Amino acid sequence: ECFKGSWATHKLLHKKAKDEKAKREVSSWTLEGDINTNPWSGYRYTGKLRPHYPLTPTRPVPSYIQRPDYADHPLGMSESEQALKGTSQIKILSSEDIEGMRVVCRLAREVLDVAAMMVKAGVTTEEIDHAVHLACIARNCYPSPLNYYNFPKSCCTSVNEVICHGIPDRRPLQEGDIVNVDITVYRNGYHGDLNETFYVGEVDEGARRLVQTTYECLMQAIDAGK
């Protein structure tokens, strides 16, 4: 009866403590200038890599750039993608569609080449993202990752043990890292998507073997699809 009678007060005190804890966690990774802040300090990571927050503000895209339907959605949701959920049909591209894909993929390759030139020890993945963003705009393309389900950046950078879709942040690349840069650009209704993994300086044999084996798997998959 004592516990039951005090339940309302007990619940309020727990809610207050929980809210205060959440505020402390938020404030701990929004301090400007702190480039070594980990917003998920309690997460059980599989390797040594940690996020470096806070991120720089979302970069704007000029209004004259054609946007995918999720670009301005508050949750980053694509209505056209949602409409296709559950379908078992694969669209057969027309010759016009294929040419549109060739054009946008060629532009994506150019943007990826810009990113490749940035990869070296001491450069942050946010700096790579900034270069990618500007390269997309210069080619009248929208950087497809930006705001897709609220993804905050214009490309994905996956360092070392990060499998894919890593968020560019303030951590400088280090000698011996490997980094995958995933580029997708949108133009004239088409997305061009490609990625490449780069060595940062000299890497160990395990990293070289991983990248080489992955590349060989990709080439065999392409041959099988022809």
Domains and CATH numbers, the chain: 65-79+92-201 (3.90.230.10)
Q: Where are the alpha helices (DSSP H) in 70-196?
A: 79-83, 95-118, 125-138
Tens digit of each residue's pLDDT (9 = 90 or more) over 78-100: 999 999 888 888 889 999 999 99
Phi, psi dihedral angles at 37 (to 5 degrees)? -90, 130
What's the distance, CA 107 to chain centroid?
19
Whole-angstrom Cα distance, residue 226 to residue 212?
22
Contacts of 224 (CB under 8 A, 6+ apart): none
Given a cut of 80, is residue 137 above it in pLDDT? yes
What one-character DSSP code corresponds to residue 27? H
Q: Which pLDDT does position 86 carry in this prediction?
A: 86
Q: Which pLDDT does position 95 carry in this prediction?
A: 97
Given a cut of 60, is residue 28 above it in pLDDT? no
Whole-angstrom Cα distance, residue 170 to residue 127?
8
Q: Look up residue 196 and give its two tokens.
A: 């490449």
Q: Look up residue 191 and give its two tokens.
A: 């997305």
